[in-house]
Structure 1
Amino acid sequence: MIQKIVDQASRFFVGALFIFSGLIKLNDPIGTEIKMEEYFEVFAEDFGSFFLWLKPYALEIGLTLIVLELALGVAVLIFYRMNITTKVLLALMVFFTFLTFYSAFFNKVTDCGCFGDAIKLTPWESFTKDVILMFPVLHLFWYRKRYAPVLYSREGHAVVGGVTIICFVVGIYAIRHLPFIDFRAYRIGNNIPQQMQPQEQPVFEYTFKQNDGSLIKSEKYLSDTLTYKYVGVEQLNEEKTKAKITDYAVYDADGNDITQSTFEGAKLLFVIYDAGKASVKNMDKIQQLIKGLEGKVDMMVLTASGAAQFETFRHEHQLAVPYYFADATVLKTIVRANPGITLWVNGTVQGMWHDNDTPTAADVTALIH
């Protein structure tokens, strides 16, 4: 009886968690790509340049891992070919546990991206989560040969194969457009200057030892040194005192900080973080948008490309818009497209578009007034 309870608990816990984690990342494959690039850069420094060769394929590798995670979650729930499913599951868990331990112990990647931007975990929280998850995974692996599949072979193949195909289609759609649900600090409706401020003022808890040797905690510092001896202090809301956006900054060609000006009035920002990799198939639509808004809306391009490279790109595609510079990772976070378009009015995000969904001038002006 107990064995069956553990079997079912392990099955549903592992399957549900893998599906939940996979769906969050499938919503935003570009976010996983960014995280994979971080890991490849760190591994290249520590283990060799081989990992830099993988960096150009971070998106494909990330999407494949996401789909694999979802397919494994479904496979576990229906006990599909558990001999091979649990072997792949265990291998994936060993891989994830190594990544989270490496990140936590060496403080290399401060966010593993396990649940995308929806749920932020510290490196040690991510590692702890993987260690806990390893127990039901090991249980399923150990008893893998005794589980009877829920479906017949043909139906099982159809379910797992169908899930795999659907997940690839959904992931590719999210890449070619924008995330279905936006969990980022730059999402529509957010005011960027507010996101750059701490959420709360710090709250401290002081620990004192009384004359009888007992400890007492207080949110105020007790100045009576005859009665209380100071022991230490702990900040209770450290995470909430951190701003959600800490790295947004924009500079002109002379290195002058013009960040504040991006929050003044209506600004249509064209984000082209890498001119060398930017899609150009919709440049005609972007050119029409620029012409339609000329004299009506303040427009600017934000890029992480070098000045010479972007100047060439700008003239080649007739982008009659001033350009400024920002960090590439920040630009990828602002909008998951290259190029991407976002409308800010007094610092509040009013619109966001992938270049495949380039708006008309009327669409933009309707959001301003």
Structure 2
Amino acid sequence: MENKYLHRVIVVWSNFCRFLLAVVFLFSGFVKANDPLGTVYKVQDYLEAWGFLGLSKGNVPYAVAMLFALLEFIIGIYLFFGIRRRVAPLLVLLVMSFMTPLTLWLAIANPISDCGCFGDVVVLTNWETFFKNIVLLVAAISVFRWKRYIFKLVTTKVDWLISLYSIVFIIFFTLFNLRYLPVFDFRPYHVGADIQKGMSIPEGEKPTVYETIFIYSKNGKEQEFTIDNFPTDSTWTFVDSKTRVKEKGYEPPIHDFSITSLETGEDLTEDILQSDQYTFLLVAPWLKQADDSGMDLINQVYDYSVEHGYRFLCLTASSEQDIMEWQENTGAEYPFALMDEITLKTMIRSNPGLMLLKKGVVLRKWSVSNLPDEYQLNAPLERLPFSTWSPETNVHKIVEVALWFLGPLLLFTIIDLIWLRIKARREKEKEKETL
């Protein structure tokens, strides 16, 4: 009786752990596939933190980002449906055995602010990520230890089809989001976002209070001072200074949006955010690595904006030399402005990408692969659909993507089952003929 009760507990526990891991891995893999360029940026941060500067600039981050999205999503599919019951528990155990000590190092050394496990959807601190991985590691050990108790949700007739189709789906979904823009945009610069509102602190909320620490040296010993106990003795020698959070408060989603004219050095931020006119922003963090395949269309958009009196700016963090080379190579006549590199990478997942603003509200975003052409820009913006934005909820998008995944999968499954039935019928007929 006791053994039967223990057996039931093990079955329930192992399958609970299996579904927990499946949901987490499916979510993590899907998020990475939805924003592959964001994952690339995070991989580059890891490589730079480890000192592999050469690898961070090439194709390695792209390969790693796609591999992680594929691996996590497929492991999640395997665990959820109970497919590959020997391989899946081993894979998930290996992944968690690698990620848990890695996130412990991240929590202690803190080389980057967050691990990027769930992209911009759920941002966890490094310590939160480590404790989350401890739970998942326990679940992975349990699933590996009692993998024989994992029950299947599908038969062996269709498990290979689910496995193959899932691989094809996540690869194409990743490539689609890499070529265009993420289907789900969880960043503060999504279409419909009010940048001015994102920069403000709501009434009643307290801002974060920062404190500057000054490090001085005297007689070979270093000591920290604040502005309140600043040393008056001139024999102290300044060494360094640092800023730390004194009192945690509300952090606005956008806190580093600042545009500086390259030509005049003027701060254009308020002028652009409060302007009633339409503004095209060509966002290119690094012009040296920017894709110039759409330059003819970009120049056409600039000509269109000049013709109709709209503002056009290229925002970049590139050097003046790189800007001059870009102008020479592409024939760019539009003005340039400087902006923080991280902000530019957050604004749009394309280098370059195009944004349309009015009064600080993001109306449209285009990647370099789907820029508007002269046939779309055939009238003033007031008469085009670009002048407004239609709110499309994430729930609507989730249903749409789910149908793209489940619809063809169900169709292929039905076709495969019909074929198996036809094949079985033919084999029976052959057996009757031989008899």
TM-score interval for Structure 1 and Structure 2 normalised by the shorter chain = 0.7 to 0.9
Provide the secondary structure at the position in 2 that maps to 1:243. Answer: coil
**Pair 1:298-2:311 in alignment:** yes
| 2:282 aligned residue | 270
Q: Conserved in 1, the CA contact under 8 Å of 2:55 and 2:61?
A: no
| 2:43 aligned residue | 36
CA-CA distance at 1:338 after TM superposition: 1.1
Q: Conserved in 2, the CA contact under 8 Å of 1:252 and 1:325?
A: yes
Alignment counterpart, residue 22 of structure 1, candidates 25, 29, 32: 29
Q: Conserved in 2, the CA contact under 8 Å of 1:252 and 1:324?
A: yes
CA distance in 2 between counterparts of 1:307 and 1:2 reads 66
The 1:95/1:327 distance shift into structure 2, 3 A limit, reads farther
CA-CA distance at 1:352 after TM superposition: 0.9
| 2:269 aligned residue | 259
CA-CA distance at 1:149 after TM superposition: 5.1
Q: Which runs of 5+ in 1 are unaligned?
A: 205-233
| 1:322 aligned residue | 335
Bigger radius of gyration: 2
What is the one-letter code of the residue matched to 1:348? V
Correspondence 1:107-118 to 2 at 5 A = 107-118=110-121
| 2:368 aligned residue | 355
Correspondence 1:62-141 to 2 at 5 A = 62-141=65-144
CA distance in 1 between counterparts of 2:349 and 2:380 reads 20
CA-CA distance at 1:255 after TM superposition: 5.0
| 1:230 aligned residue | none
CA distance in 2 between counterparts of 1:109 and 1:74 reads 30
**Pair 1:202-2:206 in alignment:** yes
What is the one-letter code of the residue matched to 2:251? K
Question: TM-score with structure 1 length normalisation?
Answer: 0.83
Q: How many residue pairs align between the two structures?
A: 332
What is the one-letter code of the residue matched to 2:140? V
Q: Conserved in 1, the CA contact under 8 Å of 2:196 and 2:273?
A: yes
CA RMSD, Structure 1 to Structure 2 (Å): 2.4
CA-CA distance at 1:117 after TM superposition: 0.9
CA distance in 2 between counterparts of 1:85 and 1:111 reads 27
Provide the secondary structure at the position in 1 that maps to 2:261. Answer: coil
CA-CA distance at 1:322 after TM superposition: 0.3
CA distance in 1 between counterparts of 2:380 and 2:283 reads 18
Query: What CA deviation, in whole Å up to 9, does each residue of 1:179-227 have, x standing for no partner?
Result: 11111001111111221223451399xxxxxxxxxxxxxxxxxxxxxxx
| 2:17 aligned residue | 10
The 1:173/1:145 distance shift into structure 2, 3 A limit, reads same
CA distance in 2 between counterparts of 1:96 and 1:142 reads 19
What percent identity do the matched residue pairs reach? 25
CA-CA distance at 1:152 after TM superposition: 5.3
What is the one-letter code of the residue matched to 1:87? L
| 1:190 aligned residue | 193
Correspondence 1:146-225 to 2 at 5 A = 147=150, 150-151=153-154, 155-199=158-202, 201-202=205-206
The 1:149/1:52 distance shift into structure 2, 3 A limit, reads farther
CA-CA distance at 1:145 after TM superposition: 4.8
The 1:195/1:166 distance shift into structure 2, 3 A limit, reads same
Query: What CA deviation, in whole Å up to 9, does each residue of 1:160-188 have, x standing for no partner?
Result: 12111110001100111111111100111
Question: TM-score with structure 2 length normalisation?
Answer: 0.71
Q: Conserved in 1, the CA contact under 8 Å of 2:32 and 2:119?
A: yes
CA distance in 2 between counterparts of 1:181 and 1:246 reads 22
Q: Conserved in 1, the CA contact under 8 Å of 2:259 and 2:269?
A: yes
CA-CA distance at 1:328 after TM superposition: 2.2
Q: Conserved in 1, the CA contact under 8 Å of 2:272 and 2:360?
A: yes
| 1:229 aligned residue | none
Query: What CA deviation, in whole Å up to 9, does each residue of 1:299-344 have, x standing for no partner?
Result: 0001122111111212321221101122222111101111100011
What is the one-letter code of the residue matched to 1:39? Y
Q: Which runs of 5+ in 2 are unaligned?
A: 1-7, 209-245, 389-435
Provide the secondary structure at the position in 2 that maps to 1:58. Answer: helix
Provide the secondary structure at the position in 2 that maps to 1:352. Answer: strand
Q: Conserved in 2, the CA contact under 8 Å of 1:16 and 1:73?
A: yes
| 1:249 aligned residue | 258
CA-CA distance at 1:55 after TM superposition: 4.4
The 1:92/1:181 distance shift into structure 2, 3 A limit, reads same
